[in-house]
Amino acid sequence: MERTSPVSGGEDGAGSSRAVLPRAPLVAWIAMSAPVVAVSCALLFVARTLEGRAAALFSLSVVVAIGLALASKRRAAIASLVLALVAGVLLLVRAPKIESDPSASTRLVLVGPLGARPWRFAPTNVVPERDQLALATVLVPMADALMTRASAARLRVATNAVYDEVDGDPTLSALPSAMGDAIFDRDSGRVFVFEPAHERGERRPAILFLHGSAGSWKGYFSVFLAIARAERWALAQPSFGFGHWNAPAGLDAVERARAWLASQPWVDPAQIHLVCLSNGGRAATRIIASSERRYRSVVWLSSVIERSVIDARDWPASWRGAPMLVLHGTQDDRLPLDYIHRAADALSSRGAVVQREVFAGEDHYLVFTQRTRVASTIARWIKDGGGR
């Protein structure tokens, strides 16, 4: 009877192992790199700039090159690496030059001991901010139940329109992105500033704008820069990490920016108006409840207004009679309109003079979707009542 040779079988087994084992690292790499591939493909789909598409191709080419190398496809791997090299060089060559001209009307200033100068080749500078935000509108709905795909798509259209204006304005496009502050949740001490035209010795009103969650965007600065330029008002937008303004360090960051503004010879320190967006309201409620009044008025824009903070203690007497403007969308599902009306009533009960304006059909992002109306409403209110 014919027997099967154990040696032959072992050799077959060894040959089979040699065929399977090289595939194991490849399978592991495919599994590990899948999120990078998904994010890169999303960026490639939504990017509006050459740099954004190059960043997506760079990461995709590197991932593919490693996969091809693991599959022993050396020539294809080299070709993919060459594509990655081309994309990487393009990104480095086109990285925005960060110039700090202290005489420019629109500029970045570093306020306080924590001031950190931006790096030209930081990924958040190399990849344009507009593409970073467009990518976020694809990824956030996967983790945030309050942002639907429809609302994300609407926001993407609105932000693209805003960033068309940013890219068309050399003074704005030259500013470094503060998205790195948000990603690492750090207080960099960076403040976007606009110094209006003024006569010698003339002091102008100022807006101090506090961003919401996800950081200080150039798109926000663009919206309020339209007011500042039209009215010849000063403007300052400090960056505070992701936007956890309720932290004690957040209040310190606000005060540093306010003190810097007030110290400028072209700013009227009695006419600084605090405008807070979304989570920026957490700083405003704490400032009002715990410190003497240093702001002429307060504007709450799609803003958190914490009744627990408002009701926790007596306000300093200087805040009584302070003019406040509340702007909110009827379809804001993050901060429902009923919540805002109750909070505005609480402000009124403490002696603030509160005016409200509701934007029908608008959600939490009306700062972009209704930016022209928002800007004109704030400017008119400050001139016609909030500023006096």
Clarify whether residues 48 and 183 are in a common domain: no
Work out the number of other CB atoms within 10 angstroms of the CB of residue 355: 15
Mean pLDDT rounded to a whole number for the chain? 91
State the total domains in the chain. 2
The CA-based dihedral angle spanning residues 91, 96, 98, 102, taken in that order and rounded to the nearest 10 degrees: 180
Choosing from 48, 71, 93, the residue where a domain stops is 93
Q: Report pLDDT digits (tens) over 53-106.
A: 999 999 999 999 999 999 999 999 999 999 999 999 999 999 988 766 788 999
Give the rounded percent of residues in the chain with a pLDDT score beyond 70: 92
- Residue with tokens 């948000």, as numbered in its chain: 182
pLDDT band at 21 (very low <50, low <70, confident <90, very high): very low
Q: Which of 126, 109, 125, 131 is nearest to 49 (CA)?
A: 131
Clarify whether residues 280 and 342 are in a common domain: yes
**Does residue 14 carry a pLDDT above 90?**
no
**Does residue 8 carry a pLDDT above 80?**
no
What is the radius of gyration, based on Cα positions, of the chain? 26
Q: Report pLDDT digits (tens) over 157-198.
A: 999 999 999 999 999 988 999 999 999 999 989 999 999 999
Clarify whether residues 171 and 45 are in a common domain: no
| The two structure tokens encoding residue 284 | 């405003």
User: Does residue 20 or residue 132 have the better pLDDT?
Assistant: 132
Q: Report pLDDT digits (tens) over 289-339.
A: 989 999 999 999 999 999 999 988 788 999 999 999 999 999 999 999 999
99 occurs within a structural domain: no
The CA-based dihedral angle spanning residues 58, 59, 60, 61, taken in that order and rounded to the nearest 10 degrees: 50
58 occurs within a structural domain: yes
SS percent in the chain: helix, strand, coil, step 5: 55, 15, 30
Clarify whether residues 177 and 43 are in a common domain: no
Clarify whether residues 362 and 333 are in a common domain: yes
Q: Which of 286, 186, 298, 209 is nearest to 246 (CA)?
A: 286
Choosing from 93, 116, 149, the residue where a domain stops is 93
Give the rounded percent of residues in the chain with a pLDDT score beyond 90: 82
- What range does the domain containing 67 cover? 11-93
205 occurs within a structural domain: yes
How far is it, in rounded angstroms, from Cα 50 to Cα 64?
21
Is residue 295 within 8 A of residue 272, CB to CB? The reply is: yes
Averaged pLDDT, 245-268? 96
| 3-class SS of residue 325 | strand
Torsion 172-177-182-183 (CA) sign: positive
Choosing from 93, 122, 148, the residue where a domain stops is 93
4 occurs within a structural domain: no
Clarify whether residues 198 and 81 are in a common domain: no
pLDDT at residue 22 in the model: 56
Q: Which of 273, 268, 326 is nearest to 296 (CA)?
A: 273
DSSP 260-319: HHHHSTTEEEEEEEEEEETTHHHHHHHHHHHS----SEEEEES----HHHHHHSPPPGGG
| 3-class SS of residue 210 | strand
Is residue 357 within 8 A of residue 377, CB to CB? The reply is: yes
pLDDT at residue 118 in the model: 84
In the chain, beta strands by DSSP E: 106-110, 190-194, 204-210, 234-238, 267-277, 297-301, 323-329, 353-359
